[in-house]
Amino acid sequence: MIHKKIGKVKAVISRRCGLTEISVDIAGKIYPAINFDNLTGRVQEGDTVLLNTTAVDLNLGSGGYHFVMANLSEPAEKEEKINGLGHIMKLRYTPFQMRVLAAEEQDSPYHELLKEEESLCSTPVVCCTLHSMLPPAAASIKALSPNLRVVYVMTDGAALPIQLSRLVQILKEKNLIQATVTTGHSFGGDLEAVNIYSGLLAAKKVFNADIIIVSMGPGIVGTGTTYGFTGIEQADIINAVKVLEGIPIGVPRISFADRRERHYGLSHHSRTALGKASLSRAVVALPIMDEEKVEKIINQMKESRITEKHIIVLEDGNQGLEFLSENNIKVTTMGRSILEDREFFLAPSAAGSTAVKILMGEKLNLLDINFLDKWGKEDIWKKKELTPEQFIKGE
């Protein structure tokens, strides 16, 4: 059940891309709150607002924010005919259901472009599990090839409004990503899409993406069970990319700073998504680390059968982190900075580098361990020169 309180807007802190950050007075105490302008209209100082306080009341990870449900100072809008384009509803059958113009629907100017489209044409797609993986992946791509077009596809596995992410705004301002697509019930991207398949195709065909990065928005749900976490969507993303004839590059969730056993080394999230749930083969980028750390991860990959299902490559991820530092882009995961949890950020950076190499037709460093019966111990990238087309066809 939703926890609700009424408060008064004490001050408007900032406005950005359809999101207004405010402070509210609730019974004499001041709290931070967020208003999504395209859902509940604009707010200003002195307005009385109805707030959803559930997450804060439960001490959940919402950043300590309440969320505006309605501006009680605004009179109800006059009943009038709804004009304009778009017949796709997001947040369907909830009090906040909203109309969007999806890229693929009949009223869209891109409908004919996407109507019969079924292929990503060997486009590399970096498949993440956490929003904090987006900046190092994009930074690594731009560090190696600044003119490539990078498009971010946001799923609905976590935060639904893309405006909640300050990182996305920063990455666009600094030209690390060129466009955004929000899929499923997530909303607010440069384009809307009904699902991950049409979202990927829109990124490629409408925005001419050279490389696509996919992740959920800020936040992730986990329960400590094998399958009860939203990051398991990585497997579905990999499968979708393969169906659409793209090149899926899986980002492993790695940490030697997280002391929880299930997340230490290779997270159980990666072991489940890549080892159990993924039905398609991906390139999994393992960053260069200390030898004992690499050995730990490889052993966990073997135990979870990731090495039987996917191609494991070893790639340097340092250039992406250096690029973030040079551009003064700060990113954290679970409250930890790059300095505190370096291996976590090295992994998506290594995936970004891998995507560039695949796009450019360069050879990758296949990890030389005896795990693939099909390939044996042969370095297929150096000796067989596996092409994107051969990867897609499973040759």
Each residue of 88-97: pLDDT tens digit? 999 999 999 9
Task: Compute how many other C-beta atoms are within 10 angstroms of the C-beta atom of residue 154.
Answer: 31
Phi, psi of 32 (to 5 degrees): -80, 150
CA distance 315 to 311: 13
CA distance 235 to 248: 10
Q: Is the pLDDT of residue 389 over 80?
A: no
* Helix, strand, coil share of the chain (percent; to 5): 35, 25, 40
Q: Is the pLDDT of residue 364 over 70?
A: yes
Average pLDDT of the residues in 231-236: 97
Average pLDDT of the residues in 215-235: 94
Tens of pLDDT, residue by residue over 142-192, are: 999 999 999 999 999 999 999 999 999 999 999 999 999 999 999 999 999
Is 202 in contact with 176 (CB distance < 8 Å)?
no
- What class, spelled out in words, does domain 4-71 have in CATH? mainly beta
Is 62 in contact with 56 (CB distance < 8 Å)?
yes
Average pLDDT, the chain: 90
The Cα-based distances of 220 to 196, 216, 230, 277, 311 in angstroms read 18, 8, 6, 18, 27
Is 238 in contact with 127 (CB distance < 8 Å)?
yes
What local confidence, expressed as pLDDT, does residue 196 receive?
A: 98
Pairing of strands 4-16, 19-26: antiparallel
What local confidence, expressed as pLDDT, does residue 369 receive?
A: 52
Phi, psi of 195 (to 5 degrees): -155, 180
What local confidence, expressed as pLDDT, does residue 207 receive?
A: 98
What is the location of CATH 3.40.50 in the chain?
Answer: 111-393
Confidence of residue 270 (pLDDT cuts 50, 70, 90): very high
CA distance 203 to 124: 12
Q: Which residues pair with 247 in a beta bridge?
A: 124
Tens of pLDDT, residue by residue over 179-221, are: 999 999 999 999 999 999 999 999 999 999 999 999 999 999 9
Average pLDDT of the residues in 237-242: 98
What is the location of CATH 2.40.50.140 in the chain?
Answer: 4-71
Tens of pLDDT, residue by residue over 19-60, are: 999 999 999 999 999 999 988 999 999 999 999 999 888 887
Q: Is the pLDDT of residue 78 over 60?
A: no
Is 150 in contact with 139 (CB distance < 8 Å)?
no
Query: In terms of Cα–Cα distance, which of 92, 351, 113, 107 is closest to 241?
Result: 351
Report residue 329 CA to chain centroid gap.
17
What local confidence, expressed as pLDDT, does residue 366 receive?
A: 84
Confidence of residue 371 (pLDDT cuts 50, 70, 90): very low
DSSP letter at 146 equals T
Q: What is the CATH number of domain 111-393?
A: 3.40.50
The structure tokens 């929000």 sit at 182
Residue 77's SS3 state is: coil
Q: Which helix (H) or strand (E) holds 307?
A: helix 306-309
Phi, psi of 77 (to 5 degrees): -65, 145
Q: Is the pLDDT of residue 383 over 50?
A: no
What is the pTM assigned to this prediction? 0.91
DSSP codes of every residue in 346-390: HHHHHHHHHHHHHHHTPPP-B---TTBTTTBT--IIIII---HHH
Confidence of residue 388 (pLDDT cuts 50, 70, 90): low
* Region label for 388, one of left (φ > 0), alpha (ψ between -120 and 50) or beta (otherwise): alpha
Q: Is the pLDDT of residue 267 over 60?
A: yes
Confidence of residue 379 (pLDDT cuts 50, 70, 90): very low
Q: Is the pLDDT of residue 77 over 50?
A: yes
Q: Is the pLDDT of residue 392 over 60?
A: no
Average pLDDT of the residues in 218-237: 94
